[in-house]
Amino acid sequence: MTAPGGGLPRSDILLIEDTPSLRAIYEAHLRSRGFEVIAAGNGAEGLARFRAHAAPVVLLDLMLPDCDGIDLITEMLTLRPNAAIVVITADRSVDRAVEAMRAGARDFLVKPVSEERLMDAIEAARAAAALSEPPDTAAEPRPVGDLIGQSAAMRAVYLRIRSAARSMAPVFITGEHGTGKTLCAQTIHMLSARAPGAFVSLDCRAVPAGQFESELHGHLRGAFPGAVTDKQGAACAADGGTLLLDDVCELAPDQQPKLQRLIETAQCRPLGAAEPVPVTLRLISTCPEDPAEVIDGGRLRSELFYRLHVVPIHMPALRERREDIPALAQAALRRFAALEGRSFTRISQQAEAVLCAHDWPGNVRQLMNVLRSVVVIHDGTELTEDMLPRGLGAVPQKAADGGAHAVLAGRSLAEIERLAVEAALARHQGSVPRAARELDVAPSTLYRKLDAWKKQDRTRPPQG
């Protein structure tokens, strides 16, 4: 079997396993699913076959008689960085497996390995390997679903979404609040083979730690005090479809092993149930922060992160794709006009310039809120500059002499944060709850900040 266009012979899976009986079992499972398998019994043989065959996926037992599995991973990825390596370990401490994943492995399996768990890991690794290949730039990436924009950043997102939709691999979406991470997840679901199934969202930030297991798995009546009826958990509700773990980085550390067990066993066990229920679902996670910082801070377990972070997608901030603002604003204006019974059909050049110059700390969500507010308050065929909130025009006007960011130059991060909060409050006539929604924080957070700033102002010595 040769690779398209010549080159190395092609196989789907390179299997490196020391124990002959296990090697035969894994090979039988893989071949029964239609995979082409190349097998090896030790590290030297495995490396030679890796050099000779362009297998996109490697299934590697870490315990080899002639070499260290971690060193073998490093050498293989040096030769072909796009290879997706799934490791098998008998060490239940998982420290060895996490070390392998830090070396570049895509997933790890703990012996004994069930056929379904093996195939799930292999399919996810195949998807990850495919996404690592250079994209086909001959075809122009087109918008997908309800996503709007033709900036370079969004074209890259469309390519990733289309590739991710063709697989069952877990997807990890990053991006600031308001950039459209949930819409991205919904689009992947609707383009996938799981579109007929349910799309279920579980907000990890909003679920109290003590209730997470019930929210994830569900419970039976009488399982605990207060459980007066049966409740279906998010995992069972998403069976056959997609489960979105929104803000997964906010999940309490002591609850994360419960999510990891669901991933490893593919079983949902409602509280109070005698037996678990097998589930087949696609996992998509979102995180507004840099995952590396979340892991380093101890808020997200590395072994859970590596399970979820197979297909990464980053949603760019609106200020990073300003060229998309006119199209986004025009589409939103027409939609809101239809909803509110208004006559708006276009945006004036002056109003469009103000929208494009603003930094939009709340991203697309903030832009939508501003336009909805304008449509509710005003009417006419054209949205003009004077209809926009005064706060939007302030930054471009002040920055006219020194660039778009002149108003922030020389200020500390704390000062910039206070400016952003005060501007949001001004746009919402002093309403803390509405400003909190725009900034995507809890109202209690704003109240605390406002109280702290008042105290600072009272204790600050008079100037002059």
Which of 226-235, 373-382, 436-445 is predicted least confidently? 436-445
Q: Report residue 463's pLDDT band, with 50, 70 and 90 as the boundaries.
A: very low
What count of other Cβ atoms lies within 10 Å of the Cβ of residue 172?
22
Average pLDDT of the segment spanning 272-297 = 86
Count Cβ atoms within 10 A of the Cβ of residue 414 and give its class: 0-12 exposed, 13-18 middle, 19 or more buried: exposed
> Which residue, 344, 347, 358, 350, is CA-closest to 408?
358
> Which residue, 166, 178, 101, is CA-closest to 133?
166
In sequence order, the 6+-apart residues with CB closer than 8 A to the CB of 67 are 42, 43, 44
What count of other Cβ atoms lies within 10 Å of the Cβ of residue 30?
22
Q: What is the pLDDT of residue 402?
A: 40
Whether residue 147 is contained in a domain is answered as: no
Domain boundary among 314, 343, 359: 314
For residue 244 the two structure tokens come to 């979105």
For residue 168 the two structure tokens come to 């069952």
Helical axes 432-439 vs 413-427, angle rounded to 10°: 120
Asked if 247 and 349 sit in the same domain, the reply is no
Whether residue 233 is contained in a domain is answered as: yes
Interval 388-438: pLDDT, tens: 987 775 443 333 334 334 445 556 777 777 778 877 877 776 777 777 778
For residue 399 the two structure tokens come to 């920055």
| Enclosing domain of residue 186 | 152-314
Residue 369 pLDDT > 80: yes
Interval 324-364: pLDDT, tens: 999 999 999 999 999 999 999 999 999 999 999 898 999 99
Element (H, E) at 19: none
Q: Where is mean pLDDT largest: 120-129, 196-205, 227-236, 421-430?
A: 196-205
Whether residue 337 is contained in a domain is answered as: yes
Q: What is the pLDDT of residue 394?
A: 43
Q: What is the pLDDT of residue 399?
A: 37
Question: What is the residue whose two structure tokens read 């002040």?
Answer: 398
Average pLDDT of the segment spanning 293-301 = 83
Whether residue 178 is contained in a domain is answered as: yes
Q: What is the pLDDT of residue 94?
A: 62
Whether residue 143 is contained in a domain is answered as: no
Asked if 433 and 382 sit in the same domain, the reply is no
Question: Could you give the C-alpha distances from 340 to 146, 148, 379, in angstroms and in order?
Answer: 20, 22, 10
Q: What is the DSSP letter of 7?
A: S
Count Cβ atoms within 10 A of the Cβ of residue 377 and give its class: 0-12 exposed, 13-18 middle, 19 or more buried: exposed
Asked if 302 and 164 sit in the same domain, the reply is yes
Q: What is the pLDDT of residue 4?
A: 40
Residue 35 pLDDT > 80: yes
Asked if 156 and 114 sit in the same domain, the reply is no
Q: What is the pLDDT of residue 192?
A: 87
Average pLDDT of the segment spanning 44-57 = 90
Q: What is the DSSP letter of 427?
A: H
Q: What is the pLDDT of residue 425?
A: 77
Report the CATH number at residue 396.
1.10.8.60
Q: What is the pLDDT of residue 417?
A: 79
Do the strands 84-89 and 107-110 form a parallel or antiparallel pair, or are they unpaired?
A: parallel
What is the C-alpha separation between 368 and 437, in angstroms, rounded? Answer: 12
User: What do you get for the CA distance between the two ends of the chain, in Å?
Assistant: 83
Report the CATH number at residue 302.
3.40.50.300
Q: What is the pLDDT of residue 315?
A: 94
How many structural domains comprise the chain?
4
Interval 303-316: pLDDT, tens: 888 888 888 899 99
> Which residue, 430, 433, 333, 413, is CA-closest to 379?
333
Which of 20-24, 222-226, 339-343 is predicted least confidently? 222-226
Residue 447 pLDDT > 90: no
Whether residue 222 is contained in a domain is answered as: yes
Which of 160-169, 245-254, 310-319, 433-442 is predicted least confidently? 433-442
Task: State CA 407 to chain mean position distance.
Answer: 33
Report the CATH number at residue 21.
3.40.50.2300
Average pLDDT of the segment spanning 171-185 = 94
What is the C-alpha separation between 165 and 311, in angstroms, rounded? Answer: 10
For residue 261 the two structure tokens come to 């067990």
Global confidence as pTM = 0.65
For residue 33 the two structure tokens come to 């699913």
Whether residue 2 is contained in a domain is answered as: no
Which of 1-5, 220-224, 426-430 is predicted least confidently? 1-5
Q: What is the pLDDT of residue 348?
A: 94
Q: What is the pLDDT of residue 237?
A: 93
Whether residue 190 is contained in a domain is answered as: yes
Using only C-alpha atoms, the chain has a radius of gyration, in whole angstroms, of 26
What is the C-alpha separation between 398 and 391, in angstroms, rounded? Answer: 11
Higher pLDDT, 453 or 349: 349
Q: What is the pLDDT of residue 228?
A: 72
Q: What is the pLDDT of residue 464?
A: 38
Asked if 397 and 288 sit in the same domain, the reply is no
SS (H, E, C) 50-102: HHHCCCCEEEEECECCCCEHHHHHHHHHHHCCCCEEEEEECCCCCHHHHHHHH
Strand partners, 314: 174
Asked if 209 and 260 sit in the same domain, the reply is yes
Asked if 160 and 305 sit in the same domain, the reply is yes
Contact of 169 with 124, CB cutoff 8 Å: yes
Is the N-terminal amide bond of 112 cis, ω within 30° of 0?
A: yes
Residue 295 pLDDT > 90: no
Asked if 242 and 390 sit in the same domain, the reply is no
Query: Cα angle at 405 between 399 and 411, to 5 degrees?
Result: 110
Asked if 170 and 268 sit in the same domain, the reply is yes
Question: What is the residue whose two structure tokens read 């929104």?
Answer: 246
Domain boundary among 265, 296, 314: 314
Which of 113-117, 134-138, 238-242, 393-397 is predicted least confidently? 393-397
Asked if 178 and 306 sit in the same domain, the reply is yes
What count of other Cβ atoms lies within 10 Å of the Cβ of residue 292?
10
Residue 136 pLDDT > 70: no
The amino acid occupying position 428 is H
Q: What is the residue-averaged pLDDT of the chain?
A: 83
Tally DSSP H helices, then E strands, for the chain: 19, 16
> Which residue, 246, 237, 283, is CA-closest to 264?
283
Average pLDDT of the segment spanning 227-256 = 89
Asked if 325 and 204 sit in the same domain, the reply is no
Domain boundary among 100, 132, 164: 132
Q: What is the pLDDT of residue 393?
A: 53
Q: What is the pLDDT of residue 270?
A: 85
What is the C-alpha separation between 55 and 49, in angstroms, rounded? Answer: 9
Asked if 75 and 162 sit in the same domain, the reply is no
What is the C-alpha separation between 55 and 69, in angstroms, rounded? Answer: 18
Element (H, E) at 214: helix 212-217
> What dihedral angle (degrees, nearest 10) is formed by the CA atoms of 212, 215, 221, 225?
30
